[in-house]
């Protein structure tokens, strides 16, 4: 159940539109949420949807993925092995600032008399646009149009077109294009999910340079020693006469244009922005050079060309990823239909913005739309985002898995700190070191190891990329398998794993968490299978593996034995899988006497109180039933779901999508659709109440899963693809593409028939409702069959 009162989709996004998020009026009270929703980014660089004039603003933010400051984690009472290095994504120099003065009167949304206002996040164009007409105190009407983008094609480039026209008069117009460093202030908020904030100066100035209309600033972070260069360049196009001057200092710079505006003569300013970053204090000079090159190229290309390449990238993205949904779970009203369509696209668009140009890092929990969770990487990537990416953007998926390989050495070191062999991946990190300051809901989540391996397995199954598997993946498999075997122990001939925390963070440090044991077993089996295959298929790489991991073949037997005898808790009386050894012995949480405003519980009850009850933050056994559904019978699934669903608060945004998928499977149509709706609208309807802090990336990935694993009933255990589609009443049609081993499969579900078409590739075998379906490229297979009606 979802215990929190879900909000209705807010009225600030309207009219609904298939491809655009539209804001028709400036509402101060939705400002913070809109800054999140209108964030733009490309996976490397991100900017919150704050207006060019900066003020009014709730929380401005410009983020570079992986660009962090480190700080010593302080403990009131320290213990051995506690994580030592906190890491927080830095709110870097804000380069998008453009301030406007007409008759020396500043333009500001909060004070301006607005004749018209529209802001649009254009998901087809990949731009954030704004058009306003402002009437000054003296009655002059000024049209201000801006378009902003962060280029997906050019990783280090952003650009803004800012066009001002005084419609009905002459006026002196000043356009001041600025850069400014963020002032860090410590957070006063007690919400543990928000960033702790960096108090001291983070960016130590190295370079500030200004020539003509170009400004270049460069810094090195104070403790983490990462270099940053950011620069801006300008082009102005107008028939009016103008002059300009530029200046810069350690913490900013500006290029100011003084224009004698003539009635109805547009003044268009193009601003190119570039960010480059790299580790090391000596990187700065090189970074400056690179920023210069990017700005030079942008200037040569011009804004229109950059816009065109953005459109092309978006077209390709939607071709690979778009989910088309016709009709709506609740009714067939046109607006509601569009609303669902819009919401799904918005989720996929935000995933693109968080991951498109990720190279060498992970995806932060909030993407680049906010500083919450310190900009760190969690299991969210592997379990919630990678399914979508594997099936639509395998290269991005590969980049993300390669990041895990990159930090394998640190994971090895962390395992040593915990007295363990093998490798233990950090629960949360930017630089590869464990940054979790509360181990019970952090480091204790050993399942992160198995989650990563699960994603590797899925990636290899869907892409066939044995190159990655045999070069990098297998080393992760060996080290994670080693950890499991070393962590657990045999008792009564069964392999037990004690003292871990599963996905449900309302239950901590337990023995034999069902999810963990199942996932560890999968991890071990896959390690055995892969190492044996490698030994057979490629003796050279196998020899390299032996050398690199100091591996002995006898280890395989241990893994096999531990996996084969893995202990899985089972309660004969209830016929369910207990979440862990002691879960069922606890008292059930008193839901009846817990008012809605006491959720999420974590903000209102001491962990000790929560931990001693049967109460679940997020799907745990239920998640295992999704990821490893083939390990459960339908009967078991039903009993487990019936038991755990009422105990689940959904206090984590990672829950409803999974609950929806299981409800779909079990035919709980009302719940399935309700949960699906919550997942898809998590941010747009501010279901979790903290959209202002950034997008819930995992839930966005979960939205895709709800459509594909839920509605379309896809199963892909061990790489075998099958579908068992359902359409909620009122939904007329669902259409989506999947990329499988470089082939393009299109699934088209209608109320009376389902069509599978291998659009690109050669051939593919899938299953439809347990019947094999052989697909030849270009030949649609249409199965006439009434798709079960839901609700």
Q: What is the smallest separation between the CB atom of 582 and its own copies, expressed in angstroms? A: 6
Out of 505, 522, 555, 674, the active site residue is: 505
| Residue 432 C-alpha from the chain's centroid | 18
# of chain residues touching its own copies (CB under 8 A):
51
Decide if residue 785 touches its own copies (CB under 8 A).
Answer: no
Residue from 115, 137, 293, 603 in contact with its own copies (CB under 8 A)? 603
Decide if residue 489 touches its own copies (CB under 8 A).
Answer: yes
- What contacts 24+ positions apart, CB below 8 Å, involve 143-149? 143/167, 144/100, 144/107, 146/52, 146/98, 147/307, 148/40, 148/47, 148/52, 148/96, 149/40, 149/125, 149/306, 149/307, 149/310
Nearer to its own copies, 80 or 183 (CB): 80
Determine how β-strand 226-238 pairs with β-strand 267-279: antiparallel
Q: Which stretch binds its own copies (CB under 8 A): 189-197, 227-235, 331-339, 534-542?
A: 189-197
Question: Would you tell me the crossing angle of helices 554-564 and 474-487 to the nearest 10 degrees?
Answer: 60
Nearer to its own copies, 79 or 211 (CB): 79
Decide if residue 602 touches its own copies (CB under 8 A).
Answer: yes
CA angle 221, 227, 229 (to 5 degrees): 115
Decide if residue 413 touches its own copies (CB under 8 A).
Answer: no
Decide if residue 78 touches its own copies (CB under 8 A).
Answer: yes
679-708: contacts with its own copies (CB under 8 A): none
Classify 282 as helix, strand or coil: helix
DSSP bridge partners of 128: 121, 148
Could you say which DSSP state residue 616 is in? Answer: B
Task: Single out the residue of 227, 228, 207 nearest to residue 281, CA to CA.
Answer: 227
Q: Which stretch binds its own copies (CB under 8 A): 16-24, 258-266, 584-592, 707-715?
A: 584-592
Decide if residue 774 touches its own copies (CB under 8 A).
Answer: no
In the residue annotation, 505 being an active-site residue is answered as yes
Decide if residue 608 touches its own copies (CB under 8 A).
Answer: yes
Decide if residue 574 touches its own copies (CB under 8 A).
Answer: no
State how far the Cα of 762 lies from the Cα of 229, in Å rounded to an integer: 47
How far from each other are the two terminal CA atoms of the chain, in whole angstroms?
17
Decide if residue 605 touches its own copies (CB under 8 A).
Answer: yes
430-459: contacts with its own copies (CB under 8 A): 436-444
Nearer to its own copies, 608 or 784 (CB): 608
Burial of 343 (0-12, 13-18, 19+ CB in 10 A): buried
Q: Which stretch binds its own copies (CB under 8 A): 305-313, 454-462, 607-615, 760-768?
A: 607-615
| Residue 472 C-alpha from the chain's centroid | 24
Q: Which residue has the tokens 């992160």?
A: 448
Classify 297 as helix, strand or coil: helix
Task: Single out the residue of 61, 21, 59, 701 nearest to residue 355, CA to CA.
Answer: 701
Residue 695 φ/ψ, nearest 5 degrees: -70, 145
Q: Which stretch binds its own copies (CB under 8 A): 29-37, 598-606, 694-702, 753-761?
A: 598-606
Q: What is the smallest separation between the CB atom of 500 and its own copies, expressed in angstroms? A: 8
Decide if residue 186 touches its own copies (CB under 8 A).
Answer: no
Decide if residue 566 touches its own copies (CB under 8 A).
Answer: no
State how far the Cα of 735 lies from the Cα of 746, in Å rounded to an integer: 7
Decide if residue 222 touches its own copies (CB under 8 A).
Answer: no
Nearer to its own copies, 157 or 195 (CB): 195
Task: Single out the residue of 633, 721, 727 nearest to residue 673, CA to CA.
Answer: 727
For 146-265, where are the alpha helices, taking DSSP H only? none
State how far the Cα of 376 lies from the Cα of 363, in Å rounded to an integer: 8
Residue from 10, 86, 329, 394 in contact with its own copies (CB under 8 A)? 86
State how far the Cα of 404 lies from the Cα of 388, in Å rounded to an integer: 18
State how far the Cα of 227 lies from the Cα of 203, in Å rounded to an integer: 9
Decide if residue 511 touches its own copies (CB under 8 A).
Answer: yes
Q: Which stretch binds its own copies (CB under 8 A): 119-127, 414-422, 551-559, 762-770?
A: 414-422
Residue from 1, 58, 81, 278 in contact with its own copies (CB under 8 A)? 81
Decide if residue 192 touches its own copies (CB under 8 A).
Answer: yes
Residue from 79, 554, 771, 772 in contact with its own copies (CB under 8 A)? 79
Which structure tokens are listed for 789? Answer: 């009606």
Decide if residue 11 touches its own copies (CB under 8 A).
Answer: no
Q: What is the smallest separation between the CB atom of 649 and its own copies, expressed in angstroms? A: 14
Q: Is residue 103 a contact partner of residue 138, using CB atoms and an 8 Å limit?
A: yes
Q: Which residue has the tokens 């972070």?
A: 221
Decide if residue 197 touches its own copies (CB under 8 A).
Answer: no
Q: What is the smallest separation between the CB atom of 607 and its own copies, expressed in angstroms? A: 5
Decide if residue 587 touches its own copies (CB under 8 A).
Answer: yes
Nearer to its own copies, 492 or 635 (CB): 492
Q: Which residue has the tokens 């892909």?
A: 716
What is the binding site for its own copies (CB under 8 A)?
73-83, 86, 190, 192, 196, 417-420, 436-444, 489, 491, 496, 498-499, 508-509, 511, 581-582, 585-587, 602-609, 611-612
Q: Which residues are catalytic?
A: 505
């Amino acid at each position: 159940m979802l215990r929190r009162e879900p909000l209705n989709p807010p009225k600030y996004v309207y009219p609904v539109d298939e491809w655009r998020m539209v804001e028709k009026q400036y509402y101060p009270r939705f400002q913070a949420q809109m800054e999140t929703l209108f964030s733009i980014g490309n996976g490397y660089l991100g900017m919150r949807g704050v207006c060019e004039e900066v003020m009014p603003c709730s929380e401005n933010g410009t983020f570079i993925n992986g660009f962090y400051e480190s700080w010593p984690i302080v403990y009131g009472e320290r213990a051995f092995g506690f994580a030592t290095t906190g890491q927080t994504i830095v709110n870097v120099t804000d380069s998008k600032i453009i301030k406007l003065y007409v008759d020396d009167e500043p333009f500001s949304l909060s004070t301006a008399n607005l004749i018209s206002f529209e802001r649009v996040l254009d998901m087809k164009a990949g731009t954030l646009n704004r058009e306003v007409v402002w009437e000054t105190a003296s009655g002059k009407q000024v049209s201000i149009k801006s378009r902003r983008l962060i280029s997906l094609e050019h990783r280090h480039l952003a650009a803004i077109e800012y066009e001002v026209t005084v419609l009905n008069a002459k006026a002196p117009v000043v356009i001041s294009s600025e850069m400014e460093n963020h002032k860090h202030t410590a957070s006063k908020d007690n919400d543990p999910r928000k960033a702790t904030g960096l108090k001291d100066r983070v960016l130590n100035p190295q370079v500030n340079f200004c020539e003509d209309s170009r400004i270049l600033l460069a810094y090195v972070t104070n403790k983490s020693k990462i270099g940053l260069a950011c620069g801006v360049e300008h082009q102005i196009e107008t028939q009016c006469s103008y002059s300009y001057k530029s200046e810069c200092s350690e913490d900013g710079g500006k290029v100011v244009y003084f224009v004698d505006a003539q009635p109805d003569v547009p003044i268009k300013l193009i601003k190119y922005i570039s960010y480059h970053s790299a580790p090391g204090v000596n990187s700065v000079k090189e970074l400056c050079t690179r920023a210069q090159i990017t700005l030079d190229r942008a200037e040569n290309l011009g804004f229109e060309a950059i816009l065109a390449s953005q459109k092309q990238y978006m077209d390709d993205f939607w071709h690979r990823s778009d989910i088309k949904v016709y009709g709506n779970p609740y009714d067939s009203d046109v607006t509601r239909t569009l609303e669902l369509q819009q919401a799904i696209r918005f989720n996929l668009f935000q995933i693109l913005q968080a991951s498109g140009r990720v190279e060498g890092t992970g995806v932060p929990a909030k993407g680049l739309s906010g500083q919450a969770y310190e900009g760190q990487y969690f299991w969210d990537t592997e379990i919630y985002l990678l399914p979508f990416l594997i099936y639509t953007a395998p290269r991005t998926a590969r980049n993300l898995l390669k990041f895990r390989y990159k930090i394998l050495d640190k994971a090895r070191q962390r395992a040593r700190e915990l007295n363990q062999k093998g490798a233990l991946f950090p629960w949360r990190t930017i630089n590869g070191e464990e940054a979790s300051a509360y181990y019970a809901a952090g480091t204790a989540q050993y399942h992160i190891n198995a989650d990563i391996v699960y994603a590797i397995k899925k990636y290899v199954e869907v892409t066939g990329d044995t190159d990655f598997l045999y070069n990098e993946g297998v080393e992760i498999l060996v080290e994670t398998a080693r950890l499991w075997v070393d962590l657990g122990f045999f008792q009564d001939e069964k392999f037990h794993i004690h003292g871990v925390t599963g996905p449900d963070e309302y239950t901590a440090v337990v023995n034999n968490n069902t999810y963990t044991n199942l996932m560890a077993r999968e991890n071990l089996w896959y390690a055995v299978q892969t190492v044996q295959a490698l030994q057979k298929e490629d003796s050279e790489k196998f020899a390299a593996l032996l050398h690199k991991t100091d591996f002995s073949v006898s280890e395989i037997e241990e893994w096999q034995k531990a996996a084969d005898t893995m202990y899985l808790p089972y309660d004969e009386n209830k016929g369910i899988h207990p979440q862990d050894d002691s879960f069922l012995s606890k008292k059930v949480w008193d839901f009846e006497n817990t008012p809605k405003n006491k959720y999420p519980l974590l903000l209102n009850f001491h962990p000790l109180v929560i931990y001693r009850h049967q109460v679940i933050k997020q799907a745990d056994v239920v998640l295992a039933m999704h990821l490893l559904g083939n390990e459960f019978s339908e009967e078991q699934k039903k009993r487990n779901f019936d038991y755990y669903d009422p105990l689940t608060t959904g206090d984590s945004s990672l829950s409803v999508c999974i609950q929806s998928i299981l409800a779909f499977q079990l035919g709980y149509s009302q719940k399935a659709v309700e949960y699906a709706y919550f997942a898809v609208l998590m941010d747009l309807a501010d279901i979790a109440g903290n959209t202002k802090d950034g997008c819930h990336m995992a839930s966005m990935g979960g939205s895709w899963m709800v459509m594909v694993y839920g509605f379309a009933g896809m199963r892909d255990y061990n790489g075998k693809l099958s579908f068992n589609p359902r359409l909620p009443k009122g939904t007329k049609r669902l259409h989506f593409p999947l990329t499988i081993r470089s082939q393009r499969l299109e699934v088209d579900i209608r109320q009376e028939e389902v069509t599978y078409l291998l659009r690109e590739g050669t051939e593919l075998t899938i299953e439809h409702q347990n019947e094999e379906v052989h697909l030849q490229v270009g030949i649609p297979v249409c199965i006439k069959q009434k798709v079960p009606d839901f609700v």
